[in-house]
Amino acid sequence: MRGTYTRLLEVMIALTALVGLLDAIAGEQADLALVFAIALALSLVLVARSAVGRREVAVRRDLAKWLADRAATEDDTAGAIADRALSAYRAGLVGDPPTTPGSGTPDG
């Protein structure tokens, strides 16, 4: 649900920036049009990034705490730790050696 709300908010920001841009162009205010054009471009980048990015996965509260604690002690991101953990779990299910997503190499 949170991902849907975030995407909706990003689209609404883009639409608001578009309306502001059109109004600034109609009022012949070049500086304001530039500000709205930049805001529109940035919001469209956010919308595109969320559309092609990873799907969100709900994580239990205790696992989220474990990821945060592990990330703090290993000086790594929680996402990277989650990727490695899921890769190792999948390898145990399928019988393949665990790989780091994107690298194609076994975890060390």
pLDDT digits 0-9 by tens, 47-83: 887 777 666 677 889 988 988 888 889 888 888 888 8
Closest by alpha carbon to 21, among 44, 46, 55? Answer: 44
Res. 107: pLDDT tops 50: no
State what percent of residues in the chain have pLDDT above 70: 81
Give which of 54, 102, 107, 62 is closest to 84, Cα–Cα: 107
69 and 35 part of one domain: no
Q: Is residue 100 assigned to a domain?
A: no
The total of other beta-carbon atoms located within 10 Å of residue 18's CB is 16
Does 47 lie in the same domain as 6? yes
Q: How many domains does the structure of the chain reveal?
A: 2
Residue found under tokens 């994580």:
59
Q: Which domain holds residue 81?
A: 61-94
Say if residue 43 is in the same domain as residue 68: no
Q: Is 41 found in the same domain as 7?
A: yes
Residues 8 and 47 in one domain: yes
Query: Is 16 inside any structural domain?
Result: yes
* Statement to judge: residues 68 and 44 lie in one domain: no
Asked whether residue 104 is domain-assigned, the answer is no
DSSP label of 53? S
Whether 103 maps to a domain, the answer reads no
* Rounded Cα–Cα distance for residues 23 and 19 (Å): 6
